[in-house]
Amino acid sequence: MKLERNDPCWCGSGKKYKKCHADFDEKIERFRRQGCEVPPHEIIKTPEQIEGIRESCKINIAILDHVAQHIHAGMSTEEINQLVHNKTIELGGIPAPLDYEGFPKSVCTSINDQVCHGIPDESVILQEGDIINVDVSTIYKGYFSDSSRMFCIGEVSPEAKRLVEVAKECIEKGLEQVKPWGFLGDMGQAVHEHALANGCSVVEEIGGHGVGLEFHEEPFVSYVSHRGEEMLMVPGMVFTIEPMVNAGSPDVVMMEGDDWIVYTADGSLSAQWEVTVLVTEDGYEILAY
């Protein structure tokens, strides 16, 4: 139903539409008429929702800080799972991955050639020289947050260390392109170009996503996209930047009978950092890291 200018705004602010989001919607409509992909109202967060997501993200950060303080060679990935689970509950949250579409644990732990969705296991022991991504997602008072970090276990090879650094730099290059009325493809191209310039590749099939009111929302966020393409970024959008950067080929595989863990097809190392980002009126805010 079309809102009249004196109707209450769709965002729930209580203000009249003409004094709240009318000009905002008209600007989006101009982009839509030019053939651009534009965000629906459902994924544009209100100030109240943003505050709820921000509180969830604070817990997510605290959990990853807790992991950083305790992770070490000789511990199992199941021990990481217990650290995450217990800290999440202690802080009043719920581990979002647990039982999500059948996922059996409270966190993803992806080691070396595992690209993502690694399942914690008491028989998988961290070894000196491993690199591992710990991906934490939290529900707090109904709001979702999501971020991940890479950890180098002891002394790692120069090649592994550089891959971890390049993956983090890709996040930074992407963030430079996050601004209102730009496009997700601006960010995606910056990420991809940086990876290629450093002799790495970016996984195409798996990307980021909107987040906040649900674990995974629209849009799908690609990192092999092109400037001026993909969805328009507008203030109030919340999504993840989480490119999966491979040392070798960008191709990935899954083992027969395993519905979760994704590996590099050529056995090369993979690294990934993830942040949750809010598009603001003048740029962006990192909500979780």
pTM (whole model) above 0.85: yes
136 neighbors 67 (Cβ within 8 angstroms): yes
Query: What's the confidence (pLDDT) of residue 2?
Result: 81
Query: What's the confidence (pLDDT) of residue 172?
Result: 98
Query: What's the confidence (pLDDT) of residue 258?
Result: 85
- How do beta strands 262-264 and 114-116 pair? antiparallel
Of 65, 283, 63, 275, nearest to 172 by C-alpha is 275
Q: Could you read off the pLDDT of 190-241 as tens digits, one per residue?
A: 999 999 999 999 999 999 999 999 999 999 999 999 999 999 999 999 999 9
Cα dist from 151 to 69, 88, 137, 167, 235, whole Å: 11, 20, 17, 12, 32
User: At a CB cut-off of 8 Å and minimum separation 6, what does 232 contact?
Assistant: 28, 31, 36, 37, 38, 39, 181, 182, 183
Average pLDDT over residues 88-116: 98
Residue 279: band (very low, low, confident or very high) from pLDDT cuts 50, 70, 90: very high
What domains can be seen in the chain, in order of their start residue?
Answer: 39-288 (3.90.230.10)
Query: What's the confidence (pLDDT) of residue 148?
Result: 98
- Tokens 């008209």, located at residue: 26
Q: Could you read off the pLDDT of 240-267 as tens digits, one per residue?
A: 999 999 999 999 999 988 889 999 999 9
Average pLDDT over residues 47-67: 97
Average pLDDT over residues 107-125: 98
Average pLDDT over residues 69-83: 98
Mean pLDDT of the chain: 97
Average pLDDT over residues 19-45: 96
Q: Could you write out the three-class secondary structure of 65-123?
A: HHHHHHCCCCCEHHHHHHHHHHHHHHCCCEECCCCHHHCCCCCEEEECCEEECCCCCCC
Calpha distance 110→132 (Å, rounded): 5
Q: Could you read off the pLDDT of 149-186 as tens digits, one per residue?
A: 999 999 999 999 999 999 999 999 999 999 999 999 99
218 neighbors 232 (Cβ within 8 angstroms): no
Calpha distance 239→117 (Å, rounded): 19
Amino acid type, 221: V
pLDDT at 3 over 90: no
pLDDT at 1 over 80: no
Residues in the chain: 289
